[in-house]
């Protein structure tokens, strides 16, 4: 019985594939063309036949502020379909361990910082990605409720902002770090042309390398069980943040762009600060290993090596 990684071609899923490959653990994968994870009947058939011992839900419709704010129905509906199809199939076919991946955007916009797991549902969400966040909160509650009602041993992990090999560099759908990397890279090639970045640069964000996230997921699956922490929910982050302006300076230096940076203050900033409280995770015995400057340098090397294949 193997591990099924749903969403194995994504940023998170591909890091999980690398982490299991390093251990020599067999992994089951299905592309979207082989198995549309919104199709509950097909998903149930697959899980029933494959009988995985672990299912990691790293498949989701994800994107940046613009995509979340404009494709609001798609972000809530597709994520609910995927979560419900997978979780219900795992319940019916008694999959021993499920790890559901959500996101730090499940916490209220004005949650006390750093955000603890118990601030969930304590206030209004950030408007731009509210539909996505509500789908992810539903996933957390599906996991917790199934544990309570059916005695399953499943967990939810809420990663902070992630980056690394396999990221999405499409400027309409990507997150802040890969979008910046691509903008600086293309501006450098255009003779150090000016780079325009969204917002004021003052919001603070936390970034975790995706290989650190994969290591945390394997640690949780090996060492942590349902009922051990309230809500069966664990934040995954590094516990430190930087301003978007500091991030831009780091990416600009790494890429080697020497042109001007223009901050478009007419564009939304999003939540003023988002830092995870990771004391629950560190108390469970896990620490990140990859520092931000090294991680960004590695991610840029990956981008240069894969510029044609990278999702753009």
| Residues involved in catalysis | 132
Which has the closest alpha carbon to 115: 69, 158, 155? Answer: 158
> Which segment (9-17, 65-73, 116-124, 283-291) binds ligand NAP by CB under 6 A?
9-17
Crossing angle between the packed helical segments 130-150 and 72-92, to the nearest 10 degrees: 10
Question: What SS3 state is found at 106?
Answer: helix
DSSP state of 94: T
Within residues 91-110, the interface with ligand NAP by CB under 6 A covers 101-103
Contact yes or no for 80/34 (Cβ under 8 A) = no
Exactly one of 3, 5, 12, 120 binds ligand NAP (CB under 6 A); that residue is 12
Contact 79, 61 (CB under 8 A): yes
Selected from 10, 164, 237, 288, the binder of ligand NAP by CB under 6 A is: 10
C-alpha distances (whole Å) from 103 to each of 136, 253, 263 are: 7, 28, 27
Residue number with CB closer to ligand NAP (47 or 187): 47
Q: In whole angstroms, how close is the CB of 66 to ligand NAP at the nearest point?
A: 15
89-93, long-range: CB < 8 A, 24+ apart: 89/40, 89/43, 89/44, 89/46, 89/47, 89/48, 90/47, 90/55, 90/152, 90/154, 91/146, 91/150, 91/152, 92/44, 92/47, 92/48, 93/44, 93/47, 93/48, 93/51
Residues of span 131-170 touching ligand NAP by CB under 6 A: 159, 161-162, 168
Nearer to ligand NAP, 146 or 213 (CB): 213
Least Cβ distance, residue 171 to ligand NAP (angstroms): 15
Q: Which residues contact 209 (CB under 8 A, 6 or more apart)?
A: 162, 163, 164, 288, 290, 295, 298, 299
257 near ligand NAP (CB under 6 A): no
Closest to ligand NAP by CB, 106 vs 187, is 106
**Two structure tokens written together for 268:** 């939304």
Q: With respect to ligand NAP, which residue has the nearer C-beta, 245 or 311?
A: 311
Which residues in 198-227 contact ligand NAP (CB under 6 A)? none
> What stretches of 24-127 show up as alpha helix (H) in DSSP?
40-50, 65-70, 72-92
175 scored as a contact of ligand NAP (CB under 6 A): yes
Q: Which is nearer to ligand NAP, 152 or 156 (CB)?
A: 156
Q: By CB under 6 A, name the one of 3, 5, 11, 197 that touches ligand NAP.
A: 11
Site for ligand NAP in 34-93 (CB under 6 A): 36-38, 58-62, 82
Between 154 and 187, CB nearer to ligand NAP: 154
Cβ-contact 111, 122 below 8 angstroms = yes
Q: How far is the CB of 112 from ligand NAP (least distance, A)?
A: 20
- Contact between 174 and ligand NAP by CB under 6 A: the answer reads no
Rounded to a whole number of angstroms, the minimum distance from the CB of residue 167 to ligand NAP is 7
Specify the residue for token string 């978007």.
244
Contact between 32 and ligand NAP by CB under 6 A: the answer reads yes
Q: Which residues bind ligand NAP (CB under 6 A)?
A: 7, 9-13, 32, 36-38, 58-62, 82, 101-103, 159, 161-162, 168, 175
């Amino acid at each position: 019985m193997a591990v099924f990684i749903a969403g194995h071609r994504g940023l998170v899923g591909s890091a999980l594939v690398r982490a299991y490959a390093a251990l020599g653990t067999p992994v089951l994968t299905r592309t979207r063309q082989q198995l549309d994870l919104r199709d509950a009947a097909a998903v149930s058939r697959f899980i029933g036949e494959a009988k995985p011992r672990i299912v990691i839900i790293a498949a989701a419709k994800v994107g940046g502020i613009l995509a979340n704010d404009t494709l609001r129905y798609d972000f809530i509906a597709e994520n609910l379909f995927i979560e419900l199809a997978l979780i219900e199939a795992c319940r019916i076919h008694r999959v021993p361990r499920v790890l559901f991946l959500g996101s730090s955007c499940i916490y209220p916009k004005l949650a006390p910082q750093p955000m603890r797991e118990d601030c969930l549902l304590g206030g209004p969400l950030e408007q731009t990605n509210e539909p996505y966040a509500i789908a992810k909160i539903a996933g957390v509650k599906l996991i917790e409720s199934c544990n309570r009602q059916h005695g399953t041993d499943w967990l939810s992990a809420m990663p902070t902002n992630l980056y690394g090999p396999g990221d999405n560099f499409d400027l309409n759908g990507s997150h802040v770090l890969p979008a910046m990397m691509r903008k600086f890279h293309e501006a450098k090639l255009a003779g150090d042309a000016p780079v325009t970045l969204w917002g004021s640069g003052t919001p603070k964000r936390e970034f975790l390398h995706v290989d650190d996230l994969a290591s945390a997921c394997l640690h949780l699956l090996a060492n942590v069980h349902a009922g051990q922490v309230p809500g069966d929910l664990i934040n995954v982050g590094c516990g430190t943040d930087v301003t978007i302006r500091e991030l831009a300076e780091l990416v600009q230096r790494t890429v080697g762009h020497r042109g001007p940076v223009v901050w478009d203050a007419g564009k939304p900033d999003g939540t003023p600060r988002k830092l995870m409280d990771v004391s629950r995770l560190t108390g469970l015995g896990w620490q990140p290993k990859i520092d931000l400057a090294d991680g960004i340098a590695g991610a840029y090397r990956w981008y240069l090596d894969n510029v044609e294949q990278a999702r753009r």
